[in-house]
Amino acid sequence: MVKTNAFYAQSGGVTAVINASACGVIQTARAHKDRIGKVFAGRNGIIGALTEDLIDTGKESAAAIEGLRFTPSGAFGSCRYKLKSLEANPREYQRLIDVFKAHGIGYFFYNGGGDSADTCFKMSQLSQTLGYPLQAIHLPKTVDNDLPITDCCPGFGSVAKYVAVSTLEASFDVRSMCKTSTKVFVLEVMGRHAGWIAAAGGLVEDHGIPVVILFPEIVFDQAKFIARVDTLVKQHGYCSVVVSEGCHHADGTFLAEQGTRDAFGHAQLGGAAPVVAGIVKDALGVKFHWAVADYLQRAARHIASKTDVKQAYELGKRGVELALKGHNAVMPTIERTSDTPYKYRIGMAPLAKVANVEKFMPRDFISADGFGITHRCKLYLRPLIEGEDPPRYRGGLPLYTTLKNFAVAKKLPAFEMK
Amino acid sequence: MVKTNAFYAQSGGVTAVINASACGVIQTARAHKDRIGKVFAGRNGIIGALTEDLIDTGKESAAAIEGLRFTPSGAFGSCRYKLKSLEANPREYQRLIDVFKAHGIGYFFYNGGGDSADTCFKMSQLSQTLGYPLQAIHLPKTVDNDLPITDCCPGFGSVAKYVAVSTLEASFDVRSMCKTSTKVFVLEVMGRHAGWIAAAGGLVEDHGIPVVILFPEIVFDQAKFIARVDTLVKQHGYCSVVVSEGCHHADGTFLAEQGTRDAFGHAQLGGAAPVVAGIVKDALGVKFHWAVADYLQRAARHIASKTDVKQAYELGKRGVELALKGHNAVMPTIERTSDTPYKYRIGMAPLAKVANVEKFMPRDFISADGFGITHRCKLYLRPLIEGEDPPRYRGGLPLYTTLKNFAVAKKLPAFEMK
């Protein structure tokens, strides 16, 4: 058995639990010192590999690595940078090989979403195309929950829990004020193409809350929407609306971009929530409030789902184990075997089938009228937000870990990013 | 000692802990059955008293009342309704007396902010002016923390904790993305006139986060603001901005209302956050994200401050004890005696000195440049966000209490609200 170093990088938008996957990778690698030498992390994702800006995770204490399990965001820095194809950009691939060769790296762990799975797949082909022996394993991560094959993606369960809890709390607030004040509360959540995150807002129905969900999968029908809100407000005195940022009109334009201009003629910067709130006000004349959760939702480690944290860790761990077994071009997955009680096992998917495939909400997860979620969807969602796994606190604030992130000495000439 | 019934009502915007005060009132009243008969709650605040829509809290189980300690929002409904002066509206005061007389109510507990303290003060004068024996006690509640005399107001500590935790988490997110993506994150928080809530965002400095606070107390200076953000972004690669909804220009206009119109000519509905983000983008050209926390911040019982919950309960309890001691026209207060370790005792303020007085951030709580908080301010804020007091969860969601809220049979003719 050959001993080789490993490279780990975080890619794309970070989450509340991507560092739990990093923790799983590093702790598992440390437990296999006979097979894995150093674990290098890319500073700011794949850019760290291209610029030979590597972090020596071996310099971090066991306590610091354990702290990653409880720390949101990307501890080594992430980036939005998609490698082109080998044909279009051979220079970058050659550089990656040079860096990996210089630092004795034989394992490539890439922690990201759909675009990253594509990059990881390209890297996995390098042993054949450029003759460099590299095992590339993709570790799933995306709040959007839109990767195929795996039942769910680490990061999603926690953002779903945040959205469900926030919707519940704000709805209780509106319920108590609706007699003389706000009657409609609008919460905008992430999800440009898939409505998984917005769907989580539907879970508050079980707590007696009237809620309308606006999915990217369902074309926005203003008249039907207003009628639904009106019915709920008449029935309950109030209602909540959870709108996905990707909610759009029949012609594909997002609700957020309805030609709004400021005093200087600039396009409005606003999101979908104020637009939806405005539509409600114009049609029904009721008082409204709106919130845009933005980064708060994906960074909210304090209210992370225990299921999600556990799976994020397990998939990081399994990624290393798959590499040690000789796998290449694969991604560990969650295979659900039962809803109630919730059971799953860790599976494996070939990256060729993961890269560039988006998974949307199945139509039978969305209610017939398009404004809610079905029982099937609830069965799917409930276990994913189950359990709490709070961080420790000091002085009222969570004790999140900031790593030292010591740089590895460079061995190669500088590389110019283009 | 005369035995009489009590009336309790929630007023104005609700909080994460106003129900903890209700819990303190009801449990303490139940412990003094020799002196206090029934505790009636007003459905939707004082409107419930005017319309004789009373709730018999005696019908709620001990477990349900205990559940209030962990439940955000107003369990009996709140309202935004300010009584005019006795001279301007004798009809309403006479009606309140009629309702109290009909239901044997001698104690009036009003749980609210500045406006409510004014109403409560007017009620306290009724025994003299209308000859009805009533003891009126005000229980402080406001996320804005703007009541005078008391060191802090129940509701504030929890929203401060929410803002500090959210700013910390989102800043970690931005820090890890700033190499290729978002460099400036803007969070809008409540506080129309006083910057207490925004100030809480400054606590993340202790965690190494570069943050700029925009207070309502400091006139917005765009050039200075941009220079500050530019400096921090150059120094750290990113920064966070916490903007109070009340931040305004020299002429008094809010940042949120800068003449923005949509395609139909309607005034823009947006808040301060998108405006600030737009200013940053226009001046510095960096990528930004923004969030508007709105109701999420004041309803976030899941991340409530233990100090805040405790004080909310204690002030409710003390309110009843003050009534039993024969006090009228007073409000129990928090009197801080030490910052570190944090110590306080419960005091008492005459309502005449509380009503219609707003407490702003002292200038020496705001840094010289106007964009941050001072050490003194941190000493003030830290104990208020200290400790966690999580609710119980089931199925991933907090177990919040919804009361039965049984109506008391009406004894009087209907009253027309005008």
The reply to whether B323 falls in a domain is yes
DSSP conformation class of A301: G
* Contact map slice: B 217-246 vs A, CB within 8 A: none
What is the band of A127 on the pLDDT scale with cuts at 50, 70, 90? confident
Cα–Cα distance, A265 to A416 (Å, whole number): 38
Q: Give backbone dihedrals phi and psi of A371, rounded to 5 degrees, phi first.
A: -115, 10
Cα–Cα distance, A204 to A29 (Å, whole number): 41
Q: Are residues B258 and B314 in the same domain?
A: no
The reply to whether A212 falls in a domain is yes
What is the band of A83 on the pLDDT scale with cuts at 50, 70, 90? confident
Burial B391-418 (b: 16+ CB within 10 A, else e): bebeebbbebbebeeeebeeeeeebeee
Q: How far is CA B252 from the centre of its chain?
A: 24
Q: Are residues B265 and B293 in the same domain?
A: yes
Six token digits for residue B289:
């994200």
Cα–Cα distance, A260 to A269 (Å, whole number): 9
The set of residues, in sequence order, having a beta carbon less than 8 Å from that of B67 and lying 6+ positions away, is: B399, B400, B401
Cα–Cα distance, A168 to A240 (Å, whole number): 9
What is the band of A356 on the pLDDT scale with cuts at 50, 70, 90? confident
User: Which residues in chain A have Cβ-Cβ distances shorter than 8 Å to B387?
Assistant: 393, 396
Cα–Cα distance, B44 to A177 (Å, whole number): 7
What is the band of A45 on the pLDDT scale with cuts at 50, 70, 90? very high
Q: Of B273, B299, B325, which one is at a domain's C-terminal end?
A: B299
Cα–Cα distance, A289 to A186 (Å, whole number): 6
Cα–Cα distance, A288 to A299 (Å, whole number): 26
The beta strand positions in A11-155, using DSSP E, are 36-42, 54-56, 105-112, 135-140
- pLDDT at residue A266 greater than cutoff 70: no
User: Which residues in chain B have Cβ-Cβ distances shorter than 8 Å to A301?
Assistant: 169
Q: Is A375 exposed, middle or buried (0-12, 13-18, 19+ CB in 10 A)?
A: exposed
The answer to whether the CB atoms of B173 and A305 lie below 8 A apart is no
The reply to whether A372 falls in a domain is no
**Residue in chain A lying closest to B300 (CA):** A169
* Catalytic position from the list A34, A115, A118, A144: A144
Q: Are residues A292 and A328 in the same domain?
A: no
Q: Which of A78, A295, A394 to mutate to test the interface with B (most CBs of B within 10 A)?
A: A295
Mean pLDDT, residues A22-48 taken together: 98
**Residue in chain B lying closest to A384 (CA):** B396
Q: Are residues A295 and A307 in the same domain?
A: no
Q: How far is CA B417 from the centre of its chain?
A: 27
A395 at B interface, C-beta within 8 A? yes
Q: Shortest CA distance to B215 belongs to which of B146, B133, B153?
A: B146
The answer to whether the CB atoms of B261 and A261 lie below 8 A apart is yes
Q: Are residues B264 and B128 in the same domain?
A: no
DSSP string across A305-355: BHHHHHHHHHHHHHHHHHHHTT--SEEEEEEEEETTTTEEEEEEEEHHHHT
**To the nearest whole angstrom, how far is the Cα of A107 from the nearest Cα of chain B?**
23
The answer to whether the CB atoms of B277 and A269 lie below 8 A apart is yes
Is the ipTM here above 0.95? yes
B364 at A interface, C-beta within 8 A? no
What's the confidence (pLDDT) of residue A263? 44
The answer to whether the CB atoms of B169 and A278 lie below 8 A apart is no
What's the confidence (pLDDT) of residue B268? 44
Q: What is the mean pLDDT of chain B?
A: 94
Structural element, H or E, at residue A412:
none
B390 at A interface, C-beta within 8 A? yes
What's the confidence (pLDDT) of residue A258? 55
User: Which residues in chain A have Cβ-Cβ distances shorter than 8 Å to B281?
Assistant: 269
User: Which residues in chain B have Cβ-Cβ distances shorter than 8 Å to A55?
Assistant: none
What's the confidence (pLDDT) of residue A129? 83
| Domain harbouring A208, CATH code | 3.40.50.460
- pLDDT at residue A262 greater than cutoff 80: no
Q: How many domains does chain B have?
A: 2
Six token digits for residue A37:
């030498």
Cα–Cα distance, B379 to B112 (Å, whole number): 26
| Domain harbouring A136, CATH code | 3.40.50.450
Structural element, H or E, at residue A186:
strand A184-189
Q: Are residues B116 and B232 in the same domain?
A: no
pLDDT digit string, tens, across residues B187-235: 999 998 999 999 999 999 999 999 999 999 999 999 999 999 999 999 9
* Pair A386, A306: CB distance under 8 Å: yes
pLDDT digit string, tens, across residues B134-177: 999 999 999 999 999 999 999 999 999 999 999 999 999 999 99
Q: Name the residue facing B299 among A75, A172, A301 (closest C-beta).
A: A172
Active site residue B173: no
Strands of the sheet with B4-10, listed across from one edge: B54-56, B36-42, B4-10, B105-112, B135-140, B330-338, B343-350
Q: Are residues A61 and A122 in the same domain?
A: yes
Q: Are residues B255 and B394 in the same domain?
A: no
Share of chain A above pLDDT 90, in %: 87
pLDDT digit string, tens, across residues B252-277: 888 887 554 444 444 444 589 999 99
Give the range of the structural domain holding residue A190, as residue numbers without chain letter: 156-299
User: Coil, helix or strand for A57?
Assistant: helix
DSSP string across A199-261: HHGGGGGGGT--EEEE-TTS---HHHHHHHHHHHHHHHS-EEEEEETT-B-TTS-BTT-SS-B
pLDDT digit string, tens, across residues A395-418: 999 999 999 999 999 999 999 987
* Pair B340, B197: CB distance under 8 Å: no
Q: What is the 3-state secondary structure (H, E, C) of B21-65?
A: HHHHHHHHHHCCCCCEEEEEEECCCHHHHHCCCEEEHHHCCHHHH
Helices of type H across A112-184 = 114-124, 126-129, 156-177
Q: Are residues B74 and B169 in the same domain?
A: no
**To the nearest whole angstrom, how far is the Cα of B105 from the nearest Cα of chain A?**
24
User: Which residues in chain A have Cβ-Cβ distances shorter than 8 Å to B397?
Assistant: 164-165, 168, 203-204, 206-207, 385
Q: What is the 3-state secondary structure (H, E, C) of chain B?
A: CCCEEEEEEECCCCCCCHHHHHHHHHHHHHCCCCCEEEEEEECCCHHHHHCCCEEEHHHCCHHHHHHHCCCCCCCCCCCCCCCCCCCCCHHHHHHHHHHHHHCCEEEEEEEECHHHHHHHHHHHCHHHHCCCCCEEEEEECCCCCCCCCCCCCCCHHHHHHHHHHHHHHHHHHHHHHCCCCCCEEEEEECCCCCCHHHHHHHHHHHHCCCEEEECCCCCCCHHHHHHHHHHHHHHHCCEEEEEECCCECCCCCECCCCCCECCCCCECCCCHHHHHHHHHHHHHCCCEEEEECCHHHHHCHHHCEHHHHHHHHHHHHHHHHHHHCCCCCEEEEEEEEECCCCEEEEEEEEHHHHCCCCCCCCHHHECCCCCCECHHHHHHHHHHHCCECCCCEECCEECCCCCCCCECCCCCCCCCCC
Q: Give backbone dihedrals phi and psi of B69, rounded to 5 degrees, phi first.
A: -55, -25
What's the confidence (pLDDT) of residue A109? 98
Give first-to-last CA distance, chain A, whole Å: 38
User: Which residues in chain B have Cβ-Cβ distances shorter than 8 Å to A79?
Assistant: 177, 179-181
Cα–Cα distance, A232 to A235 (Å, whole number): 5
User: Coil, helix or strand for A138?
Assistant: strand
Cα–Cα distance, B183 to A313 (Å, whole number): 28
- pLDDT at residue A268 greater than cutoff 60: no
Cα–Cα distance, A214 to B341 (Å, whole number): 49
What is the band of B373 on the pLDDT scale with cuts at 50, 70, 90? very high
- Tally Cβ neighbours within 10 Å of residue B364: 11
Cα–Cα distance, B2 to B32 (Å, whole number): 12
* Pair B234, B205: CB distance under 8 Å: no
* Residue A30: CA count within 13 A, CB half-sphere: 15
CA dihedral (A163, A164, A166, A172) positive or negative: positive
Q: Give backbone dihedrals phi and psi of A163, rounded to 5 degrees, phi first.
A: -65, -40
Strands of the sheet with B211-214, listed across from one edge: A211-214, A239-244, A184-189, A288-292, B288-292, B184-189, B239-244, B211-214
* Pair A323, A107: CB distance under 8 Å: yes
Q: Which of A173, A204, A222, A394 to mutate to test the interface with B (most CBs of B within 10 A)?
A: A173
Q: What angle do CA B197, B198, B202 make, to 5 degrees?
A: 115
pLDDT digit string, tens, across residues A229-255: 999 999 999 999 999 999 999 998 888
Q: How far is CA B396 from the centre of its chain?
A: 27
Mean pLDDT, residues A151-159 taken together: 98
The reply to whether A403 falls in a domain is no
Q: Are residues A35 and A84 in the same domain?
A: yes
- pLDDT at residue A269 greater than cutoff 50: no
Mean pLDDT, residues B282-307 taken together: 96
The answer to whether the CB atoms of A14 and B177 lie below 8 A apart is yes
Burial B124-139 (b: 16+ CB within 10 A, else e): bbbbeeeebebbbbbb
What's the confidence (pLDDT) of residue B1? 63
What is the band of B383 on the pLDDT scale with cuts at 50, 70, 90? very high
- pLDDT at residue A131 greater than cutoff 90: no
The reply to whether A381 falls in a domain is no
Here the contacts of B367-370 (C-beta below 8 Å, separation 24 or greater) are: B369/B224, B369/B228, B370/B215, B370/B218, B370/B221, B370/B224
User: Coil, helix or strand for A18?
Assistant: helix
Q: Are residues B267 and B171 in the same domain?
A: yes
The answer to whether the CB atoms of B290 and A294 lie below 8 A apart is yes
User: Which residues in chain A have Cβ-Cβ distances shorter than 8 Å to B278?
Assistant: 262, 266, 269
* Pair A195, A216: CB distance under 8 Å: yes
The answer to whether the CB atoms of A258 and B261 lie below 8 A apart is no
Q: Are residues A308 and A286 in the same domain?
A: no
The reply to whether B282 falls in a domain is yes
Cα–Cα distance, A216 to A247 (Å, whole number): 4
* Catalytic position from the list B34, B53, B98, B144: B144
Cα–Cα distance, B333 to B348 (Å, whole number): 5
